[in-house]
Amino acid sequence: MKVLVTDPIAEPGLDRLREAGHTVETAYDVTGDALHAAVADANALVVRSGTDVTEELFATAEELVIVGRAGIGVDNIDIDAATEAGVIVANAPEGNVRAAAEHTVAMTFAAARSIPQAHARLKTGEWAKSDYLGTELNGATLGIVGFGRVGQEVAKKLDGLGMNLVAYDPYISEERAANLGAELVELDECLASADVLTLHTPLTPETENLIAEDELAALDGGYLINCARGGVVDEAVLAAAVEDGPLAGAAIDVYAEEPLSSDSPLLDVEDVIVTPHLGASTHAAQENVATSIADQVLAAFESKPVMNALNAPSMDASAFPRVRPYLDIASTAGKIATQLLDGRIETIEVTYEGDIASEEVDLVTASALEGVFEPLEWQVNAVNAPRIAEERGIEVVESKTRTAEDFQSLVTVTVTNGDTEIGVCGTLFAGEDPRIVRIDGFRVDAIPAGHMLVARNDDEPGLIGFIGTVLGDADINIAGMFNARQVIGGEAMTVYNLDEPVSEELQNRLEDDDRVIETRYIALNGTE
Ligand SMILES: NC(=O)c1ccc[n+]([C@@H]2O[C@H](COP(=O)([O-])OP(=O)(O)OC[C@H]3O[C@@H](n4cnc5c(N)ncnc54)[C@H](O)[C@@H]3O)[C@@H](O)[C@H]2O)c1
Ligand SMILES: O=C(O)[C@H](O)COP(=O)(O)O
């Protein structure tokens, strides 16, 4: 597999990929056509914030399985386009949290005590002691906008230094905030009470320019710290607010456009301190995020759950071995059910019975959907199958019961069109041997692999012989067969495992016999 790395990541991450036998190609500062050419045959793309991963890039990157973001923010990656293209997007949301929080604390002190300004003047020989009278953080109020991982880590650190904490975050509980000593408030109250306002939200349509002229006016006399994302605060307005407006100062690590242009108004204002997006730049953080992303790339290559996938079902790695064997059986049951249903699929139900019902089954359901859509879509996988269902207006239902008749675990995929429904039920004998045990209410025992023929016929003597003869005349060997009926002399279903495919012409020959109601040929794994 080829892993293309377009932003610098730490060597231990690259080593992990190489040691697993993959080719690692680095292409830093590459954009436009050169980037498109480099990604064309890549199976994984690893980035930080420096690469724009766009819809156009996904259109070029036909071999791509995963985009790994060695860090937190994914605003540079078009996740919707990735999902459409069936590509997993994963980040490393924990590895640089401490580094980002430490940088925020450093920037808070730098702003409150004018450290960079005083430093620069002393370096030029000026002893400007009387020009700098700072703000003491002990006893001052810290307003935190966005109380997630980094915001909470900053809260812990600055609480320890004697600051009072208020936080604005519409998506967390008051209890969580209170446990960390912060009072959860609305944005206006947060701005009004803060001496230092620190931003820790992602950049989203909702947070873009969240802090503009009115908000900075409300922060009257305070400092603004942004180590989250450029674009959350309006930079021109901020520069003016520090230059001769309501703010005492600002410390900024991230910008709407990076690298920051040399004509940015932020650079002209002495009390706006700037760093070039250094929040995650510590040895420890870079090693953490690089190895985390390498592990996730390797998991994706091996079709294992990707721990921090943002657009695909993920699961606890320790539970995966219990669920893994059901992925194939669910996908196969989905394929068979779809091929047996006449007409458009309107709903898909995935039912879990027995032991499997106690597991996390998102991944199994995604696999069942992948199977259902496989005959319909050119490129479908567990990442985009839920999206395909949604786009087609197909309702997906998941249900669980703890009992499973005579089996340890059963997974049933049922597809419906109006009043017609086809359910295909699979299990694993002895925990590993896949079997289809029910099709449309008929109890069967079929090996779900290779070439299958499902025949519905009258339950009459000689019928099985007739089908066997027709197949034999066409030189098709029967590897296995299971016949089922619900009542004697009623309708029967026979499932054949064959060594060769069955042509339409042969199916017509079978169906020309009045006793044969219909036949369906299904090609499963291993039939290429
Ligand atoms: N400067 C750096 O190098 C650096 C390093 C790490 C993280 N970051 C950035 O820091 C930010 C926070 O990272 P994190 O790991 O804490 O993310 P997180 O997802 O853990 O937390 C983000 C928080 O923002 C909240 N939020 C979302 N929309 C909001 C809104 N409209 N108003 C208020 N709160 C809102 C969410 O509820 C969540 O609690 C991200 O943008 C990340 O990219 C920057
Ligand atoms: O979101 C992040 O993880 C940080 O902003 C770090 O970005 P970087 O990896 O480009 O330094």
User: 169-175, long-range: CB within 8 Å, 24+ apart, which pairs?
Assistant: 169/144, 169/145, 169/201, 172/147, 172/148
Q: Which of 16, 22, 200, 277 is catalytic?
A: 277
d(CA 346, CA 321): 32
| Token pair belonging to 158 | 């600055």
Which residue's alpha carbon is nearest to atom 9 within ligand 2? Answer: 48
d(CA 110, CA 248): 12
| Token pair belonging to 472 | 């034999």
User: 138-141, long-range: CB within 8 Å, 24+ apart, which pairs?
Assistant: 138/162, 138/163, 139/163, 139/164, 140/164, 140/195, 140/196, 141/165, 141/166, 141/193, 141/194, 141/195, 141/196
How much is the ipTM here? 0.99
CB of residue 280 inside a 6 A radius of ligand 2: yes
Strand ranges for 230-365 from DSSP E: 249-252, 272-274, 347-354
d(CA 361, CA 114): 54
d(CA 198, CA 146): 9
Please state the φ and ψ torsions of residue 267, each to the nearest 5 degrees. Answer: -75, -15
How many residues are listed for the chain in this entry?
528
What secondary structure, in 3-state letters, does 437-487 show?
A: EEECCEEEEECCCCEEEEEEEECCCCHHHHHHHHHHHCCCCEEEEEEEECC
8 Å CB contact between 446 and 440: no
Q: Which of 11, 136, 258, 391 is catalytic?
A: 258
pLDDT at 184: 95
d(CA 99, CA 328): 41
Q: Is residue 64 classed as helix, strand or coil in its secondary structure?
A: coil
Whether 258 is a known active-site residue: answer yes
pLDDT more than 70, % of the chain: 98
Closest ligand 2 atom number to CA of residue 73:
1
pLDDT at 410: 95
8 Å CB contact between 358 and 402: yes
Whether 229 is a known active-site residue: answer yes
**How many CB atoms lie under 10 A from the CB of residue 17?**
25
> Edge-to-edge strands of the sheet including 44-47?
23-26, 2-5, 44-47, 66-69, 88-91
8 Å CB contact between 440 and 423: yes
Identify the CATH number of the domain defined by range 135-270.
3.40.50.720
Among residues 147, 154, 248, the alpha carbon closest in space to that of 195 is found at 248
How far is the centre of ligand 1, averaged over its atoms, from the C-alpha of 201 (Å)?
A: 3
Write down the domain spans for the chain: 2-94+284-302, 135-270, 319-523
d(CA 131, CA 187): 33
Q: Which CATH class is domain 2-94+284-302?
A: alpha beta
User: Would 2-94+284-302 and 319-523 be classified into the same CATH topology?
Assistant: no
How far is the centre of ligand 1, averaged over its atoms, from the C-alpha of 96 (Å)?
A: 12
Tell me if the domain spanning 319-523 has CATH number 3.60.150.10. no
**How many CB atoms lie under 10 A from the CB of residue 476?**
20
8 Å CB contact between 307 and 91: no
CB of residue 49 inside a 6 A radius of ligand 2: yes
| Token pair belonging to 521 | 């040929």
User: pLDDT digits over 65-82, tens only?
Assistant: 999 999 999 999 999 899
pLDDT at 320: 86
Q: Which ligand is nearest to the CA of 148?
A: 1
Which residue's alpha carbon is nearest to atom 6 within ligand 2? Answer: 280
8 Å CB contact between 328 and 434: yes
pLDDT at 378: 62
Closest ligand 2 atom number to CA of residue 74:
1
How far is the centre of ligand 2, averaged over its atoms, from the C-alpha of 490 (Å)?
A: 67
8 Å CB contact between 411 and 348: no
pLDDT at 291: 98
pLDDT at 314: 75
CB of residue 230 inside a 6 A radius of ligand 2: no
pLDDT at 263: 97
| Token pair belonging to 173 | 């509980």
Whether 200 is a known active-site residue: answer no
The pLDDT averaged over each successive group of 10 residues in the chain (528 residues) is: 98 98 96 95 98 96 97 95 92 96 98 98 98 97 96 97 95 88 96 98 94 98 98 98 97 97 98 98 98 97 89 81 91 94 91 94 93 76 84 91 86 95 94 91 92 93 93 94 88 94 95 94 74
CB of residue 149 inside a 6 A radius of ligand 1: yes
What residues are paired with 457 via a beta bridge?
Answer: 492, 516
Among residues 27, 29, 77, the alpha carbon closest in space to that of 57 is found at 77
d(CA 462, CA 298): 54
d(CA 334, CA 522): 12
**Could you give the residue ranges of the DSSP H alpha helices within 352-428?**
362-373, 385-391
Mention every residue, 6+ apart, whose C-beta is less than 8 A from residue 498.
450, 451, 452, 453, 471, 476, 477, 478, 479
Q: What is the dihedral of CA 184, 188, 189, 190, to 10 degrees?
A: 60
pLDDT at 258: 97
Ligand 1: which of 48, 150, 274 to mutate, most ligand atoms within 8 Å of CB?
A: 150
pLDDT at 527: 53
Q: Which of 16, 22, 103, 229 is catalytic?
A: 229
d(CA 168, CA 290): 31
How far is the centre of ligand 1, averaged over its atoms, from the C-alpha of 206 (Å)?
A: 12
User: pLDDT digits over 449-508, tens only?
Assistant: 899 999 999 998 998 999 999 999 999 999 999 999 888 888 999 999 999 999 999 999
pLDDT at 377: 65
